[in-house]
Structure 1
Amino acid sequence: MDLWKKTLDVLEGSVEPYDFKNWILPIQCDTIDQDGREIVLSVPDASHGEWLQENFIGEIKETLRSFTQHDYRVRFTYYGAYGDDDRQAAGRSTIAPVPQGAPPDLIHRYRFEEFVDGPTNQFAMTAARAVADHPGTRYNPLFIFGGVGLGKTHLLHAIGHAVVERNPAARVFYVTSETYVNDLIAAIRTDKMHAFRKRYRDDCDVLLVDDIQFIAGKDRSQEEFFHMFNTLHSAHKQIVMTCDQLPQSIPDMEDRLKSRLQWGLIADIKPPGFETRVAILKKKAEADGMDLPDDAAMLIARHVTRNVRELEGALMRVEANARMMRREIDVHLVEQTLSDIIGDGLRRVQPDQIVKAVCAEFKVQISELKGPRRHRNITVPRQIAMYLVRELTDESLPQIGGLFGGRDHSTVINALKRVEALRDANPDTRNRIEKVRRQLRE
């Protein structure tokens, strides 16, 4: 098991401390078959294994490769919520494989039906569906960009699943740019470039490339990708790529390749708003057969705001804690489980604190914010204050309206929509909202 111990040592230095503690450290290595190049890892439950498959399988495989110079197949088993002494009696179950018919590299649950859309990702979702319905004819290539954990990979896999469901004979190929680079290096080293090009050009109808930015600065990889792109595009084969930034902003990327990446449609994904975060949590809980009360979902959504991956990770922590403690999920369990995120003692934010913080940031008077004036210098801060009260407190829409001069709930709804739009369109507004949010939590 020395190989796994070495792998853990590397992962501890490359993975965020929170992720390492909660997701990597609980893994136990069952067996390593060096002849068959397979490693079997045991995890607490099926959800834990699925999370690892979706978020860390690439890092685990690459670390194993760095020690062995071989690609290892990683298989997860789970032992349930048992103590060490109970595991042998409980036995282990293998996590269900991907159903027959789906390309092996596509994650089964990453489908359009499981994607929660909202104002910040609606355009990307619509474009992805259009590509899946008419691959190679509309929006080719499709370039989806956004921050970490916002759903880019989910849409990439969803396109693949939808294409295969419509046409089982379609050859869909999903690959991370890291895998692409490693495949190219292996082909050069073993003098098998013909097989490499056949795989990526001839034997592919739909190419899905995750994190294209990682080929930047690698001259041979860019050269090969450029010619592969031209071949696929000329043959009307669909290309979909994800990235963390716009094509023209990728450093060390060749200009001719940047140009190709912009040939089709560019769609961005931004962090989800409060209502979308709640919907994501409720849908995830429903899919997992979990009873998640609305107030518990809203509490998680208020404090986990950066991306979907962290949101689902927080929910899985709550679910695991509820299972181990044999308790129903409620607000108190969420507070206890996520105390490191929410804060010691869960410092409550009051509506008046929010109003004062917004007034200080935008240099307006509280009386102006709650008064009848409708000048833009007043209405925008007022709407932002309503938005933050809705996000950070339990106040209802009518109660929020009452706080701001007796306005009705429809006015509050319009304010929330207006702030969502401003946040998406204006980086300065988005940064100022985040600044107030941070101040309120300090």
Structure 2
Amino acid sequence: MLQLQNAEQTWTNCLSIIRDQIPESTFGTWFESTRGKALDDKNLVVEIPNDFVYQWLEGHYRELVHKAAFQVLGDEYLVTYVLAEARPLESESKPAEKISAPSARLTHDPASQISPHYKFQNFVEGSSNQFAKAAAVAVAEAPGKTSFNPLVVYGGVGLGKTHLIQAIGNLSLDNAMVTRALYVSSERFTNEFINSIQNNKTTEFSSIYRNVDLLIVDDIQFFMNKERTQEEFFHTFNALYQKGKQIVLSSDRPPKEIVGIEDRLLSRCQWGLVVDIQPPDLETRIAILQRKAEENGIDLPSDVIQLIAHNITSNIRELEGSLIRLLAFASVNKHDITLNLARHVLKDLFIQKLRNLTVEDIQKEVCDYYKMPDDMMRAKTRKKEVALARQIAMYLAKKLTKHSLKTIGLHFGGRDHTTVIHAIDAIEKLMETDIQIKSEVDVLKQRLSVA
């Protein structure tokens, strides 16, 4: 019992540190349902409600969790997770069944820096990332032996860069193409370099990074204006490259657009191959949600998948986060996952999208739905099918944006505000008498916002 109390108190202290470093809503979604389960001289076991939470904590808050544990315990500890259904980890019983993934140590362990969750097998491929994935697989299968050295993957936040570059490390290690691989964020590289200077251990620091077969550095844009760190990384790059070792980098923008980094380092970043990842298209977003549901044994209704995929469009992290949030709510409150539940749980995310909705967004969605060119919204044609689609778009623009009638008319080829009024009246009347039209408008509303 004392062990359990110590574990709970230790984890509560860790949560206090974590809470101060992330938004309250984020804390509530991912950390509120966790608790300390067991504690011994080397391990802190944390109970979590489901595998979704594990994936999110490991994928996005791994370093934050371990830093918090280090602050509380002041020593090298393993932080591991156990599902709530599993038996408790007690001295007189067998260890609880942990989720199958090695835990990251607080100390510098090169192998443990690559998350075992990030594999090519669970990376959903689409038109937005197809080339980047192909290049990553080629590098993983022959590290240091292709012309893709370095391989630089760039793209916006939450598009899967970290997943892709760590998948390279996992495949290379699994196939024994390399024996020493190291993943590190640019922030960690910088902090460790600073610590090595303070402790007169720069030689040891250099040795760690210059004696690997595969070096993966995430978010190199954070090297901006850090002159001594850039100098160290420059020499590390040269040492590895000259020995034929593979270098993989990621950034939120093309290397040539990063300011505050020396030209000689930027030049080296472009010696190999630079590839980008774009925001996922609708089909890829649906595939990602379906894959996540299948991985976790969840029966996710297709209308829920469509709702999330149509409304969460900016990046994969938000897409997965929305699904995990929905799952966590349904699990804690013992509700079935339905369309109405999804609308309720995710309404704040959808409202945010609604606030940013433009007339052009509505026009594009309507044209995509009715399979016609975007410019038909502004054309002078009076073809029945085009005129109906245009009226529906005007109706939705009035209902889903704060634009005036005059402004809406201007977006439709400079039409008068009376034309917009007529369109709104016409669609409202049709929705009362024509079930098909009402259904089509409702689908479009669902795609654009919360119906």
TM-score by length of 1: 0.71
Q: Which residue of 2 aligns with 1:23?
A: 30
Q: 1:111 aligns with which of 113, 119, 122?
A: 119
Is 1:162 matched up with 2:189? no
Structure 2 CA distance for aligned equivalents of residues 369 and 307 of structure 1 = 38
Deviations 1:222-261 (A, max 9, x none): 1110000001011110000111111122232222211111
Q: 1:186 aligns with which of 195, 199, 202?
A: 195
What amino acid sits opposite 2:204 in the alignment? A
Structure 1 residues not aligned, in runs of 5+: 83-90, 374-380, 393-435
Give the C-alpha shift of residue 358 in structure 1. 7.6
Tell me, what secondary structure is at the counterpart of 2:113?
A: coil
What amino acid sits opposite 1:28 in the alignment? R
Structure 1 CA distance for aligned equivalents of residues 176 and 241 of structure 2 = 20
Q: Which residue of 2 aligns with 1:250?
A: 258
Deviations 1:320-354 (A, max 9, x none): 3333444543323322332322349x99x9x9x93
Is 1:76 matched up with 2:81? yes
Give the C-alpha shift of residue 103 in structure 1. 3.2
Q: Which residue of 2 aligns with 1:48?
A: 53
**Which segment drifts farther, 257-266 or 174-183?**
174-183
Tell me, what secondary structure is at the counterpart of 1:113?
A: coil
**Which segment drifts farther, 159-168 or 284-293?**
159-168
Q: Which residue of 2 aligns with 1:98?
A: 102
Check whether the contact 1:144–1:152 (CA below 8 A) recurs between aligned residues: yes
Alpha carbons of structure 1 residues 342 and 32: separation in structure 2 relative to 1, 3 Å: same
Structure 2 CA distance for aligned equivalents of residues 165 and 323 of structure 1 = 35
Deviations 1:197-228 (A, max 9, x none): 221112x0011111122222222211110000
What amino acid sits opposite 1:218 in the alignment? K
Q: Which residue of 2 aligns with 1:405?
A: none
Tell me, what secondary structure is at the counterpart of 1:104?
A: helix
Give the C-alpha shift of residue 168 in structure 1. 5.9
Q: 2:186 aligns with which of 177, 189, 211?
A: 177
Check whether the contact 1:61–1:71 (CA below 8 A) recurs between aligned residues: no
Check whether the contact 1:32–1:40 (CA below 8 A) recurs between aligned residues: yes
Structure 1 CA distance for aligned equivalents of residues 347 and 385 of structure 2 = 40
Alpha carbons of structure 1 residues 18 and 251: separation in structure 2 relative to 1, 3 Å: farther
What amino acid sits opposite 1:97 in the alignment? A
TM-score by length of 2: 0.70
Deviations 1:155-212 (A, max 9, x none): 111111111222265321111122222222232233222222221112x001111112
Structure 1 CA distance for aligned equivalents of residues 66 and 38 of structure 2 = 15
Give the C-alpha shift of residue 94 in structure 1. 2.8
Alpha carbons of structure 1 residues 235 and 323: separation in structure 2 relative to 1, 3 Å: same
Q: Which residue of 2 aligns with 1:239?
A: 247
**Which segment drifts farther, 310-319 or 136-145?**
310-319
Q: 1:339 aligns with which of 334, 342, 347?
A: 347
Check whether the contact 2:142–2:177 (CA below 8 A) recurs between aligned residues: no
Structure 2 CA distance for aligned equivalents of residues 64 and 370 of structure 1 = 67
Tell me, what secondary structure is at the counterpart of 1:137?
A: coil
Structure 2 residues not aligned, in runs of 5+: 1-5, 88-94, 104-109, 368-373, 401-443
**Which segment drifts farther, 237-246 or 46-55?**
46-55
Identity rate, percent: 39
Give the C-alpha shift of residue 313 in structure 1. 1.5
Is 1:270 matched up with 2:278? yes
**Which segment drifts farther, 106-115 or 135-144?**
106-115
What amino acid sits opposite 2:245 in the alignment? K
Alpha carbons of structure 1 residues 181 and 369: separation in structure 2 relative to 1, 3 Å: farther
Q: Which residue of 1 aligns with 2:128?
A: 120
Give the C-alpha shift of residue 39 in structure 1. 4.1
Check whether the contact 1:79–1:92 (CA below 8 A) recurs between aligned residues: no
Check whether the contact 1:45–1:81 (CA below 8 A) recurs between aligned residues: no
Q: Which residue of 1 aligns with 2:410?
A: none
Structure 2 CA distance for aligned equivalents of residues 184 and 228 of structure 1 = 12
Q: Which residue of 1 aligns with 2:403?
A: none
Alpha carbons of structure 1 residues 355 and 271: separation in structure 2 relative to 1, 3 Å: closer
Is 1:219 matched up with 2:227? yes
Question: How many residues matched?
Answer: 368
Give the C-alpha shift of residue 364 in structure 1. 4.9
